[in-house]
Structure 1
Amino acid sequence: MNITRRNFTRLIAGAGVGLAAPAHFVKRAVAEPKKGDELVVGVWGGAQEKIVKEYVEKPLVEKYGCKVSYVLGGTGERRARAYAERGRPSFDVLYLNIYESRQAVKDGVTQEPTPNVERFEALYPSARRGGYGVAFNPCTIVYDKRKASKPITSWKDMWNPEWKGRIAWPDGLGAEGISALMMTARAWGGTEKDFDLVVEKVKELKPFAAIQSSQAQLFEMFDQDICDLSVEFGSFTRTYAESRNPNIEIASPEEGQALAMNVACITEGTRNQKLAEEWVNLHLSEPCMLAYSRELYYSPTVNDLTIPEDLKPKLVLGEEAVSKLVDFDWDLINASRPKWQARYDREIAG
């Protein structure tokens, strides 16, 4: 979905002159939480809802005597609602993906992250943009290792003839689709600006076995031998491989895996600033981070956890590994979405 971009500049008054200031210098009037205050959180349901209720809501309510209510489901509906309520939000904390979160800050819907959240200093640098990163969930090539003549070690390996007609290309310009397109650019010497190159290289892979629009659909395709390779979130694929299909391999290409991330965002105009900051701080705590890693294979966005030995091979851990996750120019991507989507529909999916 394309969102109109709008510059959002914060001003502080000084000697009668309005001066533009970085977000972290702006002093917000923050009321202390009181018993009965209600925090509204927009988050995904299922396992993520269960985890935040146990490790974030419970200690927050115990400390402040507040209430927490939820708006659950996918980001589309709650993001649209947050934009409609810009400046007068019903949400206090809004969970978005990486590109939505950065755009929301630019559009004045959510706040830049600040050290007012105590755990801010433990965040990796890439998790300090667009809000507070709470989970790394990289996208990469996933494939049936029985069908590979050798392990996949590069994004270029998708162009090996053995995969012809066996690739399920990700649908559209969501996280998986953008990851596949932008890593194609990286692998073949381009950048986000080289979309012509990307389209021509992806067209070389056709015909596709299918266009996959969800993890569930892809995993059914693997089960039914419809396809042998795709681009997907590593965490979900690991759960699938361990529970249903041990033949599926998660590649670590030499060009890197694509950075994808869940982000906790505090809304502009929240009436519960302190509670929202405390909520985010608890989400970044070790118990919550480890629950995400254990139950979902989401990699932690903070650098000071004690990770159990059995989890270490299954996560992205440490400064060096995190720095290899490939971030993109989301400003350019978001501005290009209508044009790129039209070409995708016509030349890749068509």
Structure 2
Amino acid sequence: MALNRRQFTGLMAAGLAAPASIIRPAYAQPKPGDELVVGIWGGAQEKIVKKHIEPKLVEKYGCKVSYVLGGTGERRARAYAERGRPSFDVLYLNIYESRQAVADGVTQPASPAVPNYEYLYPLARKGGYGVAFNPCTIVYDKTAASAPITSWKDMWNPEWKGRIAWPNGLGAEGISALMMTAKAWGYGIDEFDKVVEKVKELKPFAGIQGSQAQLFDMLDQNVADLSVEFASFTRMYAESRNPNCAIAEPIEGQAVTMNVACITEGTRNQKLAEEWVNLHLSPETMLAYANEIYYSPTVNNVEIPPELQGKVITAGNVDSLVDFDWDYINAHRSEWQAKYDREIAG
């Protein structure tokens, strides 16, 4: 039946006034044999999701789960190359990559379509679904310190001259060190030249550390006594290898870094992907991460057991984590990297 202009206009108006739940695209229900593709880090994180998430998803839907393992750089490049026609359904990224991916239409913003979204801290609703807080802070050999470190400014105390292993590049540790330098000394994010000059006052460095393993070797071998690193990995190192390694809680705060589960734009398994993320945000999975690798929960409905108190970020401390303007940082990353290579690492 053909529609005249008045009928067509009426139908359009009705559509525009319809509730979002009516006009939202309908997604097919999962069926046995469907395959969910998850891009995630290997090692402990792979083991945890295979133990605590995959079995529940497979039992409920009869689906399959396959994994693409490796670093975020490889996953991010592949996801961008496949934008709109992704082979990934769920993609794990770090805090700054995840926010850029949403802005670029590669991944979806967080949504209440995932039931456990309601328990996420506001900070963990940016760039997808934050699944783990892993703050960056000053770590140091307490036997080499005249007093405990209580401020980011303490790195400029003369006793640390020549004993600092500065983080390599503009990864999470490097950006945390630079931006917390800006915060401590009162520089704006648009005053990067001043930040660089302030960091140069710390030179000569004992070295430039490019990984946790490299840093921990430097501490073991007495090559360096101080750096900026993830609190979780450092706590595991201190408990297993070096009880003299201390994790600072500066008055300016610890820099927030976060692992984020991102659902790709164009996924053919939207419901499965949402269910996967929902299971990751469950108290059971959150506690598994906290117990096994000291990753802090991003939801507010997890009861932290006494043995983890003081070892992970709890509700009362989330607001003390320092976030950055990642849009600005990402927009200036190339020029900042060139200046870092020339004046800090050089």
**TM-score, length-scaled by structure 1:** 0.93
Q: Distance in 2 between matches of 1:28 and 1:203?
A: 53
Q: Distance in 2 between matches of 1:63 and 1:188?
A: 53
Q: Secondary structure at the match of 1:310?
A: helix
- 1:299–1:316 contact (8 Å) kept in structure 2: yes
Deviations 1:137-194 (A, max 9, x none): 0000000000000000000000000000000000000000000000000000012211
- 1:182–1:191 contact (8 Å) kept in structure 2: no
Structure 2 counterpart of 1:156, from 140, 145, 153 = 153
1:95 lines up with 2:92 in the alignment: yes
1:223 lines up with 2:217 in the alignment: no
Give the letter aligned to residue 165 of structure 1: G
Query: Which residues of structure 1 form unaligned runs of 5+?
Result: 1-13
Residue 306 of structure 1, CA deviation: 1.6
The runs of at least 4 consecutive aligned structure 1 residues that moved more than 3 Å come to: 23-26
Residue in 1 that maps onto 2:38: 41
Residue in 1 that maps onto 2:132: 135
1:333 lines up with 2:329 in the alignment: yes
Residues 339 and 63 from structure 1, CA distance in 2 versus in 1: closer, same or farther, beyond 3 angstroms? same
Deviations 1:232-289 (A, max 9, x none): 0000000000000000000000000000000000000000000000000000111111
Q: Secondary structure at the match of 2:310?
A: helix
1:52 lines up with 2:52 in the alignment: no
Residue 44 of structure 1, CA deviation: 0.4
Q: Secondary structure at the match of 1:151?
A: coil
Residue in 1 that maps onto 2:108: 111
1:274 lines up with 2:271 in the alignment: yes
Residue in 1 that maps onto 2:120: 123
Q: Distance in 1 between matches of 2:214 and 2:23?
A: 46
Question: Matched residues, percent identical?
Answer: 76
Structure 2 counterpart of 1:284, from 281, 284, 287 = 281
**TM-score, length-scaled by structure 2:** 0.94
- 2:304–2:314 contact (8 Å) kept in structure 1: no
Q: Distance in 2 between matches of 1:197 and 1:110?
A: 35
Structure 1 counterpart of 2:204, from 187, 207, 220 = 207
Q: Distance in 2 between matches of 1:337 and 1:192?
A: 12
Structure 2 counterpart of 1:296, from 293, 297, 320 = 293
Structure 2 counterpart of 1:311, from 308, 312, 329 = 308
Q: Secondary structure at the match of 2:73?
A: helix
Residue in 2 that maps onto 1:7: none
Residue 78 of structure 1, CA deviation: 1.3
Query: Which residues of structure 2 form unaligned runs of 5+?
Result: 1-10
- When Rg is computed on C-alpha atoms for both structures, the one with the higher figure is 2
Q: Distance in 2 between matches of 1:229 and 1:50?
A: 31
Residue 26 of structure 1, CA deviation: 7.5
- 1:24–1:114 contact (8 Å) kept in structure 2: no
Q: Where do 1:176-191 residues align within 5 Å?
A: 176-191=173-188
Q: Distance in 2 between matches of 1:150 and 1:77?
A: 42
1:258 lines up with 2:255 in the alignment: yes
Q: Distance in 2 between matches of 1:46 and 1:342?
A: 32
Q: Secondary structure at the match of 1:91?
A: coil
Residues 49 and 26 from structure 1, CA distance in 2 versus in 1: closer, same or farther, beyond 3 angstroms? farther
Give the letter aligned to residue 232 of structure 2: S
Q: Distance in 1 between matches of 2:309 and 2:53?
A: 24
Structure 2 counterpart of 1:175, from 165, 172, 176 = 172
Deviations 1:38-73 (A, max 9, x none): 000000001100000111101000000000000001
Q: Secondary structure at the match of 1:15?
A: helix
- 1:212–1:218 contact (8 Å) kept in structure 2: yes
Q: Distance in 2 between matches of 1:26 and 1:124?
A: 28
Residues 25 and 300 from structure 1, CA distance in 2 versus in 1: closer, same or farther, beyond 3 angstroms? farther
Residues 26 and 224 from structure 1, CA distance in 2 versus in 1: closer, same or farther, beyond 3 angstroms? farther
Q: Where do 1:228-247 residues align within 5 Å?
A: 228-247=225-244
Residue 28 of structure 1, CA deviation: 2.9
Residues 310 and 24 from structure 1, CA distance in 2 versus in 1: closer, same or farther, beyond 3 angstroms? farther
- 1:41–1:70 contact (8 Å) kept in structure 2: yes
Q: Secondary structure at the match of 2:251?
A: coil
Q: Distance in 2 between matches of 1:274 and 1:132?
A: 15
Residue 104 of structure 1, CA deviation: 0.2
Give the letter aligned to residue 327 of structure 1: D
- 1:131–1:264 contact (8 Å) kept in structure 2: yes
Residue 196 of structure 1, CA deviation: 1.3
- 1:34–1:65 contact (8 Å) kept in structure 2: yes
Q: Secondary structure at the match of 1:314?
A: coil
Q: Distance in 2 between matches of 1:124 and 1:46?
A: 27
1:348 lines up with 2:335 in the alignment: no
RMSD between aligned residues:
1.7
Give the letter aligned to residue 308 of structure 1: P
